[in-house]
Structure 1
Amino acid sequence: MSTISAPGTDAPSAEVPDYPMTRAAGCPFDPPPALYTLQAQVPISRVRLWDGSTPWLVTRYEDIRMLLADPRISSDDTHPHYPHQGPGQKERRARSRAFISMDDPEHARLRRMATAAFSIKHVEALRPAIQKIVDGLIDAMLAGPKPVDLVQAFALPVPSLVICELLGVPYADHDFFQANSRTLVKRSATREQARAAGQRLSDYLDGIIGDKLAHPADDLLSRLAERVRAGELSRREAAATGMLLLIAGHETTANMIALGTLALLQHPDQLARLRESDDPKLIASAVEELLRYLTIVHSGRRRVALEDIEIGGQTIRAGDGVILANDIGDRDPGAFPDPDRLEVDRNPRHHVAFGFGVHQCLGQPLARVELQVVYGTLYRRIPNLRPAIDLDAIPFKHDGAVYGVYELPVTW
């Protein structure tokens, strides 16, 4: 029987729980109850993954921030004890490594080539175009039949249109890349499924890089292609970077739009405050609070210890896998008073929904602007928006690496 160690000792003390854990019935916005228990009682403990491995799970906010910023913690997913989310994710990362799964200096070299496109200044310049996309999709919803699935009609198209424009990917191909992305971010995906989906997307991005080499335009993939031409980047590295940004650029924000809307609909007092205000500061605060409250990357940030690390009365040995549970970290009462309460004026900018340290999310400025436009527009333009089905009938992405809903029927 697998066991965990008591704080301050390597001696076994209890059976190791399986991870990820199950959310409580009727509480789809809250982390699993077992995570609250671990955070309060054994904040650094062993858990068992799908492959039988037993990495450390870190659940307190300060410990998570400290380790995410610690150079003794590695993101290298080729390490034999890296705690992969599932067989599909392991296969995907083995075949197409992107900079998020590398350490410096390689991480910094590759990340730097995409940084300018996601700078605050560049993203702010996109705000009018994002507003136009959001208003156009709302116009189409209002003119069409109802109920309508908010995911397909609005939540997915907003970030997909934006990231396609930014990267230089044809939006006409969105059904193709969204279908393959869904496979790659499912924890339950098999190696074969992930291999096939990853190969299709890799070939697709490689083809686009080839087109950009021949016919450059004013987009990020053209700039990466220019790096390939200059010998600063391999074509495979360019395709892997493009694939990462394409997937991350629509999957995460789409889930935040739909799940954030549902959370607000379940908290009508908070929705009313947001709907009735045009204060950019309140809208920005609401974005940060929903990011904290929902923390949709709900399977933890995965790492490996390169050296022995003493933290929280526990010793993490060199070579041990580590999972930094940012979802429960963002519900830590030591960092956020009354953390299970949604308060749109809280403005918890210090949350770890985007991670922390050198590997924090590159696209967070873009995500923030997209969400500010969406949350500041949708509920004012459709003030009586409401779910068309009961909460317990909505299909949540419990099996996804990114949490959200598969569909959200709404009416007004």
Structure 2
Amino acid sequence: MVYPDGHVGWIATSHELVRKVLSDPRFSHNLENFHFPVTRFGEPAVGSSPEIPGMFIHMDPPNHTRYRRLLTAEFTARRASRLTSRVEAVAAEQIAVMREHGGPVDLVANFAEPLVLRVLSEMVGLPYEERDRYAHAPAVLHDPDSTQEEVGAAFAQLTPFIVEVVEGKRKQPGDDLISRLVADGELTTEEVCNIVTLLLFAGYETTENALAVGVFALLHHTDQLAALRADPSKLDAAIEELLRYITINQYEMYRTALEDIELDGHLVKKGDTVTVSLPAANRDPAKFGCPAQLDIDRDTSGHVAFGFGIHQCLGQNLARVELRAGLSALLQAFPDLRLAVAVDEVPLRLKGSVFAVKSLPVSW
């Protein structure tokens, strides 16, 4: 695969090779030497940056291990399940907003977006009532059409706000992730702020769009929606199939070989960048029969929608709780939920790092 900067690297598309690359410690995810698979601001992006304190997604062990260890307990399945009642309450409140608005209504703006942002904000410790100061930044960063000036302006607004929140938690802690991180005393303000920024970027638009696109897929595949309505016990299986079928992480998954490595008979040389395609892996016919078909009864075990290896999505348990609560609330509240426009009129965001629907007009 030829990268925008002219580097000749690789792209892994099979389920087997994607898992191999993501789990092999000989492949690095730091920013000291990588080649980005798409352009940024219209220009090739070449990595040569030192590690950013707290931004552990672009670190290798042992630094990655240190930061991730501090957060693991916050995102266990048990901790996420304890949030279920709160997530369901927020979903019910957003259903009420939709009813008050009346159809047709944009499900993204009135349901998926506020549900995910409210839950994430409460868990992390960000004041939702001040969301105008932090919610815009992830959208700008994930939008490939954003200019360098727009990204810079978004960070210029976001960073001092998060510093303000972190320092406030030092003086008056609450029952939230920021308070527990500062109470630990191991991290600097810069590290905590970068961790919070990472969680915001990784956990907001991703889950919001997984929910919105999942609803779109069900409303499009009416047979699968009918099967789910007929047997609500299939909801968890349906969520896993939706994650597989429309894997929203499109291209920001890449690794650099730290030494010469043979993969499937090919020599990947030291310094080569390998981009792994999660959507392709999740539609690998060698792993999933009839992969282009949405089938909520299929065995989805082993899908890689949340990645694989040591960088596998930290918040996947919370994401599943949000998807379950959101889809369940919609199915129960609106037995006749349907698209308010033709399928091909739903505006898609195809170029962003996160596949998304820009809006999803629905009626009932």
Which interval holds the TM-score relative to the shorter structure?
over 0.9
Q: Which residue identity does 1:48 align to in structure 2?
A: Y
Deviation for aligned residue 1:176 = 3.4
Alignment of 1:196-275 (within 5 A): 196-227=153-184, 230=185, 232-275=186-229
Which structure 1 segments of 5+ residues have no match? Answer: 1-45
What whole-Å deviation, never above 9, does each CA across 1:17-67 have from its counterpart, x for those lacking one?
xxxxxxxxxxxxxxxxxxxxxxxxxxxxx1333x34333111111000011
1:156 is paired with a residue of what secondary structure? helix
The change in CA–CA distance for 1:356 and 1:340 in structure 2 (over 3 A counts) is same
1:370 is paired with a residue of what secondary structure? helix
Q: Is the 8 A contact 1:83 1:322 kept in 2?
A: no
2:240 is paired with a residue of what secondary structure? helix
The change in CA–CA distance for 1:155 and 1:348 in structure 2 (over 3 A counts) is same
Is residue 64 of structure 1 aligned with residue 21 of structure 2? Answer: no
What whole-Å deviation, never above 9, does each CA across 1:220-242 have from its counterpart, x for those lacking one?
01111223xx2x21211110100
Whole-angstrom CA distance in 2 between matches of 1:103 and 1:150: 38
Q: Is the 8 A contact 1:388 1:411 kept in 2?
A: yes
Q: Find 1:293's aligned residue among 230, 239, 245.
A: 245
Whole-angstrom CA distance in 1 between matches of 2:230 and 2:134: 37
Is residue 48 of structure 1 aligned with residue 13 of structure 2? Answer: no
Is residue 150 of structure 1 aligned with residue 107 of structure 2? Answer: yes
Structure 1 equivalent of residue 316 of structure 2: 364
1:243 is paired with a residue of what secondary structure? helix
Whole-angstrom CA distance in 2 between matches of 1:157 and 1:91: 35
2:335 is paired with a residue of what secondary structure? coil
What whole-Å deviation, never above 9, does each CA across 1:260-310 have from its counterpart, x for those lacking one?
11111110010111123231xx11111110000000001151111111110
The change in CA–CA distance for 1:57 and 1:84 in structure 2 (over 3 A counts) is closer
What whole-Å deviation, never above 9, does each CA across 1:182-228 have from its counterpart, x for those lacking one?
1111223333322222232222211111111111111001111223x
The change in CA–CA distance for 1:193 and 1:382 in structure 2 (over 3 A counts) is same
The change in CA–CA distance for 1:359 and 1:380 in structure 2 (over 3 A counts) is same
Whole-angstrom CA distance in 2 between matches of 1:346 and 1:173: 42
The change in CA–CA distance for 1:302 and 1:115 in structure 2 (over 3 A counts) is same
Is residue 348 of structure 1 aligned with residue 310 of structure 2? Answer: no
Whole-angstrom CA distance in 1 between matches of 2:261 and 2:48: 26
Is residue 406 of structure 1 aligned with residue 354 of structure 2? Answer: no
Segments ≥4 residues shifted beyond 6 Å: none
Structure 2 equivalent of residue 380 of structure 1: 332
Whole-angstrom CA distance in 1 between matches of 2:46 and 2:192: 19
Is residue 395 of structure 1 aligned with residue 350 of structure 2? Answer: no
Q: Find 1:75's aligned residue among 20, 24, 29.
A: 29
Is residue 179 of structure 1 aligned with residue 131 of structure 2? Answer: no
Deviation for aligned residue 1:371 = 0.8
**Superposed CA RMSD:** 2.0
Whole-angstrom CA distance in 2 between matches of 1:90 and 1:191: 12
- Percent of aligned pairs with the same residue? 39
Whole-angstrom CA distance in 2 between matches of 1:337 and 1:399: 28
Number of equivalences: 360
Whole-angstrom CA distance in 2 between matches of 1:113 and 1:162: 20
The change in CA–CA distance for 1:92 and 1:207 in structure 2 (over 3 A counts) is farther
Q: Which shows bigger deviation, 198-207 or 89-98?
A: 89-98
Deviation for aligned residue 1:129 = 0.8
1:123 is paired with a residue of what secondary structure? helix
Q: Which residue identity does 1:55 align to in structure 2?
A: G
Structure 1 equivalent of residue 40 of structure 2: 87
Deviation for aligned residue 1:84 = 5.7
Q: Find 1:339's aligned residue among 291, 298, 306.
A: 291
Whole-angstrom CA distance in 1 between matches of 2:169 and 2:45: 30
- The TM-score with structure 1 as length reference comes to 0.83
Is residue 325 of structure 1 aligned with residue 272 of structure 2? Answer: no
Whole-angstrom CA distance in 2 between matches of 1:93 and 1:260: 37
Whole-angstrom CA distance in 1 between matches of 2:80 and 2:164: 26
Is residue 306 of structure 1 aligned with residue 261 of structure 2? Answer: no
Q: Which residue identity does 1:77 align to in structure 2?
A: L
